[in-house]
Structure 1
Amino acid sequence: MPLKRTPPKSPHVATLDVHPLQTHSQSDPSISVTHNPETITTKTMQRVKRKRDRSAEQSELDDFRTTIMDILKELQSTVSEIKEQNVKLQESVDFTAHKYDEILTKMKQMEEARREDKKYILSLEYKIDKLEQQSRATSVEIRNLPKRNGETKQNLLDTLNDIYKAIKLPPQVSDVKDIFRNNNKTSTPTVIVEFGTVKNKESLLQHIKKFNKENSNNKLNTEHLRIQGPKIPIYCSENLSSKSKRLFFLARELAGHEKYKFCWTTHGKVYLRKEEGAPLCRIDSEGDISKLRQQK
């Protein structure tokens, strides 16, 4: 009798309940589809977060652009103001430069006019000095002559006669046009003698010069004129103009410092000579004195 291989029915039969949504008629039976609610929620939140992040970035970018535009507008406004200021500054500089050129031109004109005026003044001074010297062409001045009490012109004429006698020259008092004392309290006592001719003036000066040269140890002084009191040297020279007197004073001062042996005047001109045989130097202005000082 054959054995039945059919297993007996189990008392517990497992029944597989398949949900209609879980049935995939055409899917690979090896693929298992699982739907996790937590996973779905996380992905959704990530997407929302990404959208929010992008929105925030866009907002920040817009704010940045707005800020940059504001800065650019402000910068453009500032540049425009600077340009306007530069234009005004350039106009001011141009105006100042124009005025400066005008002032410079006027200064040059004034400087040229000053030079011309100076030349003209010098020429006038030269003419005035020449006229003044011509008016004194026949005059001599006697310095260091003591003044007597109640002195008169006759007293002065008598003193002049004594000078002629001392130097052994025939008296020429008759040719004297005028004789007077220069009452300048600030200068050396001086007597001015005006002759009628230049010849008599030159004759007196030449003889006094000769007398002093022959009597170098006892030059003309108050003892020769029989004037009481201390022995005082008497100097006699041309009656120079103010300018020539100044030059003669400076020339004598230079001669003393620089060891010039000779310093004299002739016809209102001042001369210097270093020594015998040396070339003479004519002094026409104070500039000539300065040049001689520099030559040292």
Structure 2
Amino acid sequence: MPLRRTPPSTTQGKMVSDTNQSSAPVTDTDNETTSTITSRPRPRKRQYDDEVSITMAEMKKSLETFKLQQNIILESINGIKNQNSEMIKSMELISAQYDDMKNKLITMETERKTHLAYIQTLETKVENLERSQRQSSIEIRNVPVQKNETKDHLLQLVQKVGLATKNCINETHIRDVFRTNADKKGNRSIIVDFSSVIMKEKILTAVKTHNRSNRDNKLNTTHLQLGCQSQPIYIVECLTDKAKKIFYQARDFSKKNQYDFCWTAHGKVFLRQKIGAASHRIDSEIDIDKLQPQKEK
């Protein structure tokens, strides 16, 4: 009769135990364990890595863009610096030119003042020279021009003036006599150049005396026997053009400011406000301006 072998009880028990365990109902704890073991985090990590890569790529792109913009800004700044350097150079050049021009203007102004002073000196010398040349001359105004008039006719007129003022005038007393060019009104004065200043002063004094003594019959054309309607004759010093201008302005000033006396002596112009007051010598317009009454503020 053959022998029967039976497996050891431990092995069978273990198998039974495993079988029992496998056939035992699954509990919640077993499910959590199984879920934990079976779930793998790899897909989520890969998604995270992709997002990080995209973010890094965007940041890299932004950095490159920023770097590009920064390079553009740096280039603009460098361009501005270059422009500023050119502007500084231009301003320095302009400043140097301005200083040079300023110095030239200062020099020109100094030279102008020097030239004006020199011109003033020359004008004074010319005025004194002309005054010296005319110091023995008189001017007879308002005498009609005769037909075919000659120097002899003019000499006779001067001699008649001497007779009317009780002065004997010979040819030897007269160095020259002539008519001036016509003025704006067409008048032509007679210039008489005497041989001496003394004779000139003598004639002028005689004319003033005659006119004071004969206020109703002052020296006029009837005294010269011209055969024309009577009109007054004026005999004055022969003034230079500058003195004539100043004399005209002085007379205008005397009328407006109640100055009683305005006269000439030795080719110079004088003003006096009233009898006994101080006389003022007028050499230029500045002297007239000094006499202007100051306006009340």
TM value normalised by structure 2: 0.82
1:295–1:161 CA distance, 2 compared to 1 (3 A): farther
Worse-superposed segment, 244-253 or 162-171: 162-171
What does residue 115 of structure 1 align with? 113
Is this contact kept in 2: 1:270–1:283, CA < 8 A? Answer: yes
Please list the CA deviations of residues 107-151 of structure 1 after superposition, one character each: whole Å capped at 9, or x if unmatched: 111111111111111111111111111111111110111111122
| Counterpart among 33, 57, 65 of residue 63 in structure 2 | 65
Is this contact kept in 1: 2:178–2:191, CA < 8 A? Answer: yes
1:141–1:40 CA distance, 2 compared to 1 (3 A): same
What does residue 176 of structure 2 align with? 178
- The whole-number CA distance in structure 2 between the counterparts of 1:61 and 1:256 is 100
Worse-superposed segment, 90-99 or 245-254: 245-254
1:76–1:19 CA distance, 2 compared to 1 (3 A): farther
What does residue 234 of structure 1 align with? 233
| Counterpart among 136, 139, 145 of residue 138 in structure 1 | 136
What does residue 193 of structure 1 align with? 192
What does residue 40 of structure 1 align with? 39
Is this contact kept in 2: 1:172–1:200, CA < 8 A? Answer: no
Is this contact kept in 1: 2:172–2:195, CA < 8 A? Answer: no
- The whole-number CA distance in structure 2 between the counterparts of 1:251 and 1:223 is 31
| Counterpart among 92, 97, 100 of residue 98 in structure 2 | 100
Worse-superposed segment, 262-271 or 286-295: 286-295
2:77 paired with 1:75: no
What does residue 5 of structure 1 align with? none
Cα distance, 1:52 vs. partner? 2.2
- The whole-number CA distance in structure 1 between the counterparts of 2:121 and 2:138 is 26
What does residue 266 of structure 2 align with? 267
Cα distance, 1:224 vs. partner? 3.0
| Counterpart residue type for residue 181 of structure 1 | R
- The whole-number CA distance in structure 1 between the counterparts of 2:45 and 2:289 is 107
Cα distance, 1:96 vs. partner? 1.1
- The whole-number CA distance in structure 1 between the counterparts of 2:224 and 2:214 is 15
What does residue 214 of structure 1 align with? 213
1:58–1:100 CA distance, 2 compared to 1 (3 A): same
| Counterpart residue type for residue 289 of structure 1 | I
What does residue 204 of structure 1 align with? 203
- The whole-number CA distance in structure 2 between the counterparts of 1:19 and 1:254 is 148
Q: Which residues of structure 2 form unaligned runs of 5+?
A: 1-17
Is this contact kept in 2: 1:181–1:191, CA < 8 A? Answer: yes
Give the match's secondary structure for 1:189.
Answer: coil
Q: Which residues of structure 1 form unaligned runs of 5+?
A: 1-14, 24-28
1:234–1:295 CA distance, 2 compared to 1 (3 A): farther
- The whole-number CA distance in structure 1 between the counterparts of 2:171 and 2:289 is 41
Cα distance, 1:230 vs. partner? 2.7
Cα distance, 1:217 vs. partner? 4.1
Cα distance, 1:63 vs. partner? 1.5
Worse-superposed segment, 109-118 or 286-295: 286-295
- The whole-number CA distance in structure 1 between the counterparts of 2:294 and 2:176 is 43
| Counterpart residue type for residue 285 of structure 2 | E
1:74–1:19 CA distance, 2 compared to 1 (3 A): farther
Please list the CA deviations of residues 257-296 of structure 1 after superposition, one character each: whole Å capped at 9, or x if unmatched: 3332211111111111222222212111122233334647
Give the match's secondary structure for 1:141.
Answer: strand
- The whole-number CA distance in structure 1 between the counterparts of 2:198 and 2:174 is 12
1:239-254 matches, cutoff 5 A: 239-254=238-253
- The whole-number CA distance in structure 1 between the counterparts of 2:187 and 2:286 is 26
- The whole-number CA distance in structure 2 between the counterparts of 1:262 and 1:52 is 119
Is this contact kept in 2: 1:167–1:211, CA < 8 A? Answer: yes
Is this contact kept in 2: 1:255–1:272, CA < 8 A? Answer: yes
1:31–1:262 CA distance, 2 compared to 1 (3 A): same
1:194–1:263 CA distance, 2 compared to 1 (3 A): same
Q: What RMSD over aligned residues (CA atoms) do the two structures have, in Å? A: 2.8
| Counterpart residue type for residue 115 of structure 1 | K
